[in-house]
Amino acid sequence: MGDVILTMKGIDKSFPGVHALDHVDLEIRKGEVLALMGENGAGKSTLMKILTGVYSKDSGTITYEGKEVEFKNTREAQDAGVVIVHQELNMLGHLTVAQNLFIGREFKNGIKIDDKKMIEESKKLFDRLNVDIDPTEIMSNLTVGKQQMCEIAKAVSFDAKVIVFDEPSAALTESEIEEMFKIIRDLKKKDIAMVYISHRMDEIKVITDRVTVMRDGTYVGTLITKDCTKEDIINMMVGRVIYEDPKTESAVAKDAPVVLKVENLNAGKMVQNVSFELRKGEILGFSGLMGAGRTETARALFGADPKESGDIYINGQKVDIKSPRDAVKAGIGYLSEDRKRFGIVVQKTVAENTTMATMHEFMNGLFINKKKEKEVAQQHVDALATKTPGVDQLVVNLSGGNQQKVVIAKWLTRNSDILIFDEPTRGIDVGAKNEIYKLMNKLAAEGKSIIMISSEMTEILRMSDRIVVMCEGKKTGEIDISEATQENIMNLATREIN
Amino acid sequence: MANKKSLLKGREAMVVGIIIAMVAVFSILSPTFRTYTTFVSILDCSYYVALMAIGVTFPLITGGVDLSIGTGLICYALFGGYLIVHKGMPVGIALVACVIVGTLIGLLNGFLVAVMDLPPFLATLCTCMINRGLGSLLSGGFGVSWPSALEPAGWFRSIFRFKAGGQVIPVGIALIVVLVIIMSFVLNHTKIGRYTFAIGSNKEATKLAGVNVKFYHIAAYTICGFFAGLAAIAYSATYVTIYPGSGAGFEMDAIAGAIVGGVSASGGIGSIIGAFLGVIVISLMKVGLPFIGLQANWQQIITGLVLIGAILIDVVKKKK
């Protein structure tokens, strides 16, 4: 491991009402990948934003290459060689790849922007990183993976000495992550220091050298990656031991009635001849890599996207689901992976969100019965242990986990017997995850049937009674939990199909 | 965008097709349409709209809008006329004054939007009202006439309508074409243009790239105001009298033209050539529809329908 290139000492930062960082220390060395871990809200992103000049610190010092520095904006940080690859892709979708790479520092020929030179330089950059991207392509036409490569290429092109990756893999497929790791290893050889923020333990194990853990805005400690276990890290993150054992046996009786039967569902390339059954009280895991067609299957089943063919039976009765409205009537509730877009109305209260799908039950003639609405919402807040000051609270002020509970409450008021959870714990921190898991188990025990789409292997193995695996739009297998292992699931998820 | 594969891209070629089709339909249905006078009157009512459209393309591409240019145009023209008629100033000064006031109002819009963070729709709605009030105030509520083409001081009218032997030569179109070319270059090959697209595409990301977003955001509105000033000159040169209180709705012709020409109202997409061609479509409807017996009310309805069609094309494209 190389010399220390950057030290942050006693960094303190407060936002109105929140003490986001409390005297945090961090040390980064040349040619290493340092994992920065912590629950959501632990202060990782804030710390990195202070480092790269997005925010200013209240107190503390940053020493970079032996000198104390304070970057006033991202530009200054970039010029000094400290760059961040942001969590949300910071792409200008309407512009070309080359225009994106050199945004803010265009080559000029008089007053004219020298697009030709920008394209040439982009080509050189991509060659160096061994990625195949056409610099003249419009950015929004690229896959998310390629866009991420562009972000990294951009970071590298600043002659960066320190690169911060803020959850770079969140939207990437396995092969894209592999490709990114190749680039990261390459950069390591060039003595570039990197900070890698991620929630994915397996990645941390593979790519990082040391792990620094933060909790509630404080520095907890630093470990050497190869000398520590996942449990060590998780314990430091949450300050408590977390139960993460896989389920070993299905909790559903063999003769439990089939509540949902899907036969030969077809909807475009992503859903080809998908058939499966869901039993009462069962949690059916849907596993697969990104782009396997799991969400698409759920959306076709739910009537959110048109289906080409296929039969759906609920409690043995054939149903014709043409729209989400039909699906809801048939007793299906869908909890989207993208809560903010499809799940909740953030600027509305907990009560209003809870009754969103069942408005008609809360009407007094033309008027909404606010009192009843609040009562019912309060019942759900109590039953689900949603942490909110009250049902009048705007949903935007709740944490991710509690927002998810509001969505669950919405479907419970609707008496949906079949619940589709699409990535139920995405963007939810470890502690709140456990609560969501408990809640799902409770719902299943009460006789609700759950389809759980998840990209997290641990989540699949921990929650499912049975697992359907998909790959490239086709169902490639079905495994009972008693036989499921990471290996056989992965095998099905990556199987070549002729 | 910046890589021009052909002079006219898909959308612009389509608008040219529409223009040709409209001319053909009007010509067939009404023989009197095919006259030089009609040609000139189409251009006459295109100049000021085209100038506004060139300007408003910038705020539109940033994802904003400028509603103040219509009443602004009248306000600046009234101010210029006031300087000539009541203060006895030379026409040249009045022309420069139009552009300066227009640019300042554009600057104010830019300040409100980029620095004070007002929604563009509301910010420019406010300046739209201010413009209208200012215009009436300056003129005392009366119409103002700039010098006519018969007076020596009316020389500025020949910038747009050059009279040679009783015949009007619409030289204004050459000026507009030159401006279209210059502003196309600005939009596609300079920093101002590049960052106009960037802001409309993803403002936050542009800021993070270290771009002085406020400056370029203000620049987009200032350019728009500058062109509203030019439009005031074009309007004063084409029409005899400027009435306070008119001008509301002028901006809609310009915005509609730009959108018909492929400028996206949600930002990030658009071209000056497209905006210009779109304005020609609007002007053709304005002048052409009466020839086939459809009066002003119909023209409004049809403009609305055409606009829906233009926006639908974008929506459908996005869905694909």
Least confident stretch, A122-131, A138-147, B246-255? A138-147
Hey, how many other C-beta atoms are within 10 angstroms of the C-beta on B256?
22
Hey, how many other C-beta atoms are within 10 angstroms of the C-beta on B111?
17
B301 Cβ contact list (under 8 Å, min separation 6): none
- Model confidence over B147-188: pLDDT tens digits? 998 888 889 999 999 988 788 899 999 999 999 999 999 999
Closest alpha carbon to A420 in A297, A314, A288: A297
- Model confidence over B113-133: pLDDT tens digits? 999 999 999 999 999 999 999
CATH superfamily assigned to domain A4-238:
P-loop containing nucleotide triphosphate hydrolases (3.40.50.300)
- The class that CATH gives domain A258-493 is alpha beta
DSSP string, B210-251: T--HHHHHHHHHHHHHHHHHHHHHHHHHH-SEE-TT--TTHH
Looking at the DSSP bridge assignments, the partners of residue A9 are A61
Q: With a cut of 90, say whether residue A75 has pLDDT above it.
A: no
Grade residue A497 by pLDDT with cuts at 50, 70 and 90: very low
Q: In chain B, what residues touch A105 (CB-CB under 8 Å)?
A: 210
**Rounded distance between C-alpha atoms, residue B55 and residue B257, angstroms:** 12
To test the contact with chain B by mutation, choose from A78, A94, A119, A158 the residue with the greatest count of B C-beta atoms within 10 A, namely: A94
CB contact under 8 A, B3 and A91: no
Torsion of CA B285, B287, B288, B294, to 10 degrees: 80
Question: Could you tell me if A476 and A450 are in contact, meaning their C-beta atoms sit under 8 angstroms apart?
Answer: no
CB contact under 8 A, B1 and A136: no
Which of A78, A99, A111 is the closest to B210 by Cβ?
A78
Looking at the DSSP bridge assignments, the partners of residue A223 are A211
- Give me the tens of pLDDT residue by residue for chain B, a chain 320 residues long: 444 444 557 889 999 999 999 999 999 999 889 899 999 999 999 999 999 999 999 999 999 999 999 999 999 999 999 999 989 999 999 999 999 999 999 999 999 999 999 999 999 999 999 999 999 888 888 889 999 988 888 899 999 999 887 888 999 999 999 999 999 999 999 999 999 999 999 898 888 777 899 999 999 999 999 999 999 999 999 998 999 888 888 999 999 999 999 998 888 999 999 999 999 999 999 899 888 888 878 888 988 898 898 888 877 876 65
**Rounded distance between C-alpha atoms, residue B56 and residue B221, angstroms:** 8
Q: In chain A, what residues touch B269 (CB-CB under 8 Å)?
A: 94
Which of B185, B197, B210 is the closest to A95 by Cβ?
B197
Q: With a cut of 80, say whether residue A31 has pLDDT above it.
A: yes
| Cα angle for residues A70, A75, A76 (degrees, 5° grid) | 30
Whole-number Cα distances in Å, A62 to A48, A231, B194: 12, 31, 34
Segment A245-269 shows an average pLDDT of: 88
Which of B194, B205, B208 is the closest to A99 by Cβ?
B194
B10-307 carries CATH number 2.30.30: no
Segment A56-82 shows an average pLDDT of: 92
- Model confidence over A174-188: pLDDT tens digits? 778 888 899 999 999
Grade residue A86 by pLDDT with cuts at 50, 70 and 90: confident
Q: In chain A, what residues touch B191 (CB-CB under 8 Å)?
A: 106, 108, 113
Minimal Cα–Cα distance from A164 to chain B, Å? Answer: 14
Backbone angles phi, psi at B18, to 5 degrees: -60, -45
- H helices within B147-190, ranges in order? 172-189
SS3 assignment, position B141: coil
Query: What is the pTM assigned to this prediction?
Result: 0.74
Segment A311-316 shows an average pLDDT of: 94
Q: In chain A, what residues touch B198 (CB-CB under 8 Å)?
A: 92, 95, 103
Backbone angles phi, psi at A276, to 5 degrees: -165, 165
A356 Cβ contact list (under 8 Å, min separation 6): A345, A410
Question: Could you tell me if A252 and A465 are in contact, meaning their C-beta atoms sit under 8 angstroms apart?
Answer: yes
Sequence ranges of chain A with CATH classification 3.40.50.300: 4-238, 258-493
Backbone angles phi, psi at A467, to 5 degrees: -130, 130
Which of B3, B191, B202 is the closest to A90 by Cβ?
B202
By CA distance, what is A72's nearest residue in B? B210
Amino acid at site A389: P
Task: Check residues A270 and A199 and name the one with the higher pLDDT.
Answer: A270
Q: With a cut of 50, say whether residue A498 has pLDDT above it.
A: no
Q: Using only C-alpha atoms, what is the Rg of chain A? A: 25
B191-208 and B36-61 helices cross at what angle (nearest 10)? 30
- The answer for B 264-293 residues in CB contact with A (under 8 A) is 268-269
CB contact under 8 A, A91 and B200: no
Minimal Cα–Cα distance from A16 to chain B, Å? Answer: 21
State the DSSP code for A54: S
| Cα angle for residues B33, B28, B312 (degrees, 5° grid) | 90
- Model confidence over A335-346: pLDDT tens digits? 887 777 777 777
A144 Cβ contact list (under 8 Å, min separation 6): A89, A171, A172, A176
HSE (side-chain half, CA atoms, 13 Å) at A299: 16
**Strand segments (E) across A225-270:** 258-267
Q: With a cut of 80, say whether residue A481 has pLDDT above it.
A: yes
